[in-house]
Amino acid sequence: MMNPDIGRLQPYPFERLAALKKDLKPPADRTPIALSIGEPKHPTPALITDALIAHLHQLAVYPSTRGLGTLRETIARWLTTRFQLGHPGIDPETQILPVNGTREALFAIAQAVIDRSRPALVLMPNPFYQIYEGAALLAGAQPRYLNCTAEQGFIPDFNAVAATTWQDCQLLYVCSPGNPTGALIDQETYATLIELAHRYDFVIASDECYSELYLDEADPPLGLLQACAVIGNTAFSRCLAFHSLSKRSNAPGLRSGFVAGDAALMERFLAYRTYHGCAMPLPHQHASIAAWSDEEHVRANRQRYRDTFSAVLEILADVLPVAAPRAGFYLWPRTPIPDTDFAARLFAQEHVTVLPGRFLSRVVDGLDPGADRVRLALVPPLDECVDAAWRIRRCVSG
């Protein structure tokens, strides 16, 4: 026998993409270019790899679930500075836990907080990172999708959510900067959500793994904990923020991030994780300390993406309705034909792989907010992204 909830899981977007491409034959004279997966292709900074190598001898030591105090203190300093948390800031002893990337933590938090003894809804943006949906289903909850449309600035219309829905909500996932849209949640919206979380007793899980990739160096995205500090919720009650080094530091294989926020929630989450067996290896912790301690490589990373956006948009602007997002590394253009047909044609004619928008979304009230859009992850080196843009232009114009 197996957990029956496993049968409720939907095919992962990349499974659906593989099926779409299965019988297609791309031109052999063109090198493949993948813009489908949000995996940074820039080199991991030497300060991270050097720290990892210098501590490989600690593979002989079991790590603790709570992680090194030095790592938590480094993260606390980074959070306090980056998100202007002020006094009393955030407590590295009770309000921070290192995790093996945000993916496993975003999944695990649902298993830790959902009360199966009563009706449980997990609210999430639509389109969305599919881990949210799988986490809800395997926690015995029901996903509820909140459409993100251009008319709403690609942010859910939280004011349109019924009180009965909020009453059954136990967990709300938000993602800012958004995947795939790059949309940002503002202070007013965060404040509304925090008030709703207290009124209806649910947890906000804020996925902020793209927070350090933004176009305007003088205007970094707001975070959930920062929004809490602004309204005086200095205990970050009912709020958890999830951060990662994967995008910020070009280190997806390090599997390193953290969760921070409400101490009472973190205490229970620590108990869950102790049984879950997911402590971060010590060499990875030391590499993470080096990464969270340095901003120079992050600024350089942002500049690479700015240069890429500028070059690609110059090529595509007059053939696709597309604009640079304020943050993240995705483009989310509308397609002139159905998104799956567009992706198939682009692969078959130009050997470029993109992700159809409907693979990231669900139909709600007859509307699929991912339909007739594609996600372009501008993660390859600049020359590859430029080559891909010319191929897309040729495909659209041909």
Q: Residue 327 phi/psi, 5° resolution?
A: -160, 170
pLDDT at 2: 81
Closest CA to 21 of 335, 341, 332: 341
CA dist., res. 106 & res. 154, Å (int)? 21
With H, G, I as helix, E, B as strand and everything else as coil, classify residue 318.
coil
H/E element, 108: helix 102-113
4-43+297-397 belongs to which CATH class?
alpha beta
336 upstream amide cis, omega within 30 of 0:
no
Contact 190, 241 (CB under 8 A): no
Mean pLDDT by 10 residues, the chain (398 residues): 85 93 93 95 96 96 95 98 93 97 95 94 96 96 96 96 97 97 98 98 98 96 98 97 97 96 97 91 98 98 97 96 93 97 97 98 96 97 97 92
Domain ranges of the chain: 4-43+297-397, 58-294
Residue 395 structure tokens: 């495909």
pLDDT at 147: 97
58-294 maps to which CATH number?
3.40.640.10
180 upstream amide cis, omega within 30 of 0:
yes
Residue 192 structure tokens: 């509304």
Closest CA to 192 of 153, 159, 143: 159
Write the CA distances from 62 to 120, 226, 287, integer angstroms: 36, 34, 17
Task: Write the DSSP string, 274-291.
Answer: HHHT-PPPHHHHHHHHHH
pLDDT at 88: 86
pLDDT at 393: 97
Contact 283, 59 (CB under 8 A): yes
Q: Do domains 4-43+297-397 and 58-294 have the same CATH topology?
A: no
